Amino acid sequence: MVPPMSLRISVDTGGTFTDFVCLDDSGEAQVTKILSLPENPAAAVFAGLRQIAAARGLPLSELLASTTNLFFGTTLGTNAVLTGTGARLGLLTTKGFRDLLEMRRGTRDHLYDNKTPPPSPLVPRYLRLPITERVDAAGEVIIPLRAEDVAQACATLRREEAEAVAVAFLHAYCNPKHEREAAALLARLWPQAFLSLSSEVAPAIGIYERTSTTVLNAYCGPLMQRFVGRLQEELRGAGFGGSALVMQSNGGMISPADAGRFAARTILSGPAAGAMAGRALARQTGIDTCITLDMGGTSTDVCLIEAGEPIVTTEARLGAGRYRLNLPTLDIHTIGAGGGSIAWLDRGGLLHVGPQSAGAQPGPACYGRGGRRPTVTDANVLLGCIAPERFFGGRMQLDSQAARRAIEEEVAGALGLDAAAAAFGIITVVNTNMAAAVREVSLDRGYDPRDFALVVGGGAGPLHACAVAREIGIPRIVVPRDASAFSAHGMLATDLRHDFVATFTGPLDGSSAKALPQTFAELRRQAHAQLEADGVPESGRQLVPSLDLRYKGQYHELTVPLAAGDAESGAFPATAGAFHSRHEQRYGYAVKEDAIEIVNLRLLAIGCLPKTAAPAKAARAPSTLASPSGMRAVYLDRRGGFREVPLYDGALLHPGFTANGPALIAQPFTTILVAVDYTVQVDPYGNYLLWR
């Protein structure tokens, strides 16, 4: 029996695998993976917790009793939006703005294609109900709220069997009086309904963005409320008395109650956790700038980290860009490229990989669970990069013949290639797709990727790291010790984070200097009240102010930190300089003589959570470093075909280990492919550093 100690456990529910990391107070991590159960995520959580308890020789109740924090990252909201399985809901909006969700900003997704239909809103038109009321841009009531309209809308939505209501009135960001009155009436007439108010969810200027975000919150809210409610109840029944927290899209944690109420904040929680893992790893290895690439079973998430912090955006789009999310979100680019991504040929015979995925059920053909479509994992098995007997920690024996059969039947035969060449083609395509995603967050936004390190995580990522880095020209690669549970590790390195916003329109000059401190004072009051409710002492609170700025008359704005002392000086020299620099980096130019205007004030409130640093280990003498555990035939390229390469057992490698490629390093839940022209070294924390 292992004696009880203080534990912190994170759970990342992905489309194919659910990852668990259990961290004790010495900094040692225990990693567990199970196949996801999309139809019952809570059951997957408890299945993984039981495996952790069994490995520690403890009953589940004793494991949970010694756990101080449980962190959850969930794809529940993302999957609901992508699959159209969210709540049936209605929208109450100001009379005259019923078609706002369809009009959007009046631009087409494909500028030169006038035949592409616009995306269908999450709320059909007959459930978008106009309400008589009007508030002007100064917050003055022009037309009082007509309660009869709200009552009639409530009756209509109940008759149509809706379960959620989004309320988004014009200019509610500066005067929420009518939204609150409507909510009070709805709560009295229909207490079971989930209510989402724009003045609470996204209280900032921009009627379309605010409405879209409020609708997304109502669409995902009932699902999230049921999930966190059931999970908390079952955890308490199993003996958990600690604190449970849910990952947000902004890279911080939130309470389960707030996650249920503000579900839109969690829609990109899984990818955000991966970015925060990259942030923590970059700090550990002394790297200020890096690009994280987290390749799991279903998708690949890419995020740029500059000066030790991920880029944050308020212009996130979901569902192939169809739905706008106007909340602070880590700027993550996600593509359908994972181990389970399906390879297919279009009508012209062109090879594609993804975005369709085999998921956890049936999974790739080599899983032997009924899948017949060829996937990236099948290609890696056929090429010798994945040892079938070692997959999933040896708990799942892969069927290499099934992988070969799927590739031959659906790809190789049609292309006139042998199976190995077709598999290599699949890998080449998915690597190219991931390289394009890296360009999206770097070159396309004004950054030179050669100035960054590539931090690669996920169960599938380390097999593709060298190829993607070579394609982009990135000189250094870092593969974390527990790359397969990259996002789950990221949750253990996060804090509570709350974003507060207030619209403030005016020039960035002395005329705004007097009013700015007053508005920020109100935001600080809200922030301290929230952190007080979270139980965070004053010593553990951090408040970070910023401004949404743009050149006068511009359409888009950029968020820039408010430099210390600028508001008091009334001149804002440092803040203006930071805006010009950011604008030039993002758009390629700056107009320093033009006036700058403020759109919104923002305040990030951070509640610091305890963290346990991973212990560093001393390097071993060269004579004690591990030797290969064997040789393995790997298909490295079409010219050389299969070649015998050394296979190392990652569990036996110590700090200081160095080897030249080609080589394979087998971890329990992933494999690292060291390419021909790369060198790998193990650092003091067990991470793998690769360079050409």
Q: What is the pLDDT of residues 279-291, one digit of tens each?
A: 888 888 888 899 9
Helices (H), 41-75: 41-55, 60-65
Q: How far is CA 635 from CA 379, 386, 462, 642, 651, in A?
A: 10, 11, 16, 4, 24
Q: Kindly state whether residues 119 and 260 are assigned to the same domain.
A: no
Q: What is the pLDDT of residues 501-541, one digit of tens each?
A: 999 988 988 788 788 888 999 999 999 999 999 999 999 99
Cis peptide before 355 (omega within 30 of 0): yes
Q: What is the pLDDT of residues 171-215, one digit of tens each?
A: 999 999 999 999 999 999 999 999 999 999 999 999 999 999 999
Q: Of 309 and 82, which is predicted with more confidence?
A: 309
Say if 651 falls within a structural domain.
Answer: no
Q: Kindly state whether residues 76 and 101 are assigned to the same domain.
A: no
Please give the residue range of the domain that contains residue 600: 496-607
Q: Are 606 and 497 in contact (CB under 8 A)?
A: yes
Q: How far is CA 622 from CA 199, 655, 662, 686, in A?
A: 63, 10, 20, 16
Q: What is the pLDDT of residue 223?
A: 92
Say if 650 falls within a structural domain.
Answer: no
Say if 678 falls within a structural domain.
Answer: yes
DSSP code string of 658-682 = EEESSEEEE-SS-EEEE-TT-EEEE
Q: Kindly state whether residues 174 and 105 are assigned to the same domain.
A: yes
Q: What is the pLDDT of residue 3?
A: 43
Q: What is the pLDDT of residues 207-244, one digit of tens each?
A: 999 999 999 999 999 999 998 998 899 999 999 989 99
Q: Place 321 in a pLDDT band, splitting at 50, 70 and 90.
A: low
Q: Summarize the confidence of residues 71-75 as an average pLDDT.
A: 88
Q: Whole-angstrom Cα distance, residue 656 to residue 617?
A: 10
618, pLDDT greater than 70: no
Q: What is the pLDDT of residue 623?
A: 56
For the chain, how many structural domains are there in total? 4
Q: What is the pLDDT of residue 299?
A: 85
Please tell me whether residue 340 adopts helix, strand or coil conformation.
coil
Boundary (domain end) residue, out of 574, 607, 640: 607
Q: Kindly state whether residues 275 and 385 are assigned to the same domain.
A: yes
Q: What is the pLDDT of residues 249-265, one digit of tens each?
A: 999 999 999 999 999 99
Q: What is the pLDDT of residue 1?
A: 39
**Token pair 């013949």 in the structure block, residue:** 401
Q: Of 78 and 348, which is predicted with more confidence?
A: 348
Q: Kindly state whether residues 171 and 98 are assigned to the same domain.
A: yes
2, pLDDT greater than 60: no
Question: CB neighbours (10 Å) of residue 116?
Answer: 11
Q: Are 651 and 636 in contact (CB under 8 A)?
A: no
Closest CA relative to residue 93, chosen from 203, 182, 158, 162: 182
Q: Of 44 and 375, which is predicted with more confidence?
A: 375
Residue 246 belongs to a domain with what CATH number?
A: 3.30.420.40
Q: What is the pLDDT of residues 12-21, one digit of tens each?
A: 987 678 889 9
Question: CB neighbours (10 Å) of residue 61?
Answer: 13
Q: Kindly state whether residues 516 and 600 are assigned to the same domain.
A: yes
Q: Kindly state whether residues 529 and 479 are assigned to the same domain.
A: no
Q: Kindly state whether residues 285 and 401 are assigned to the same domain.
A: yes
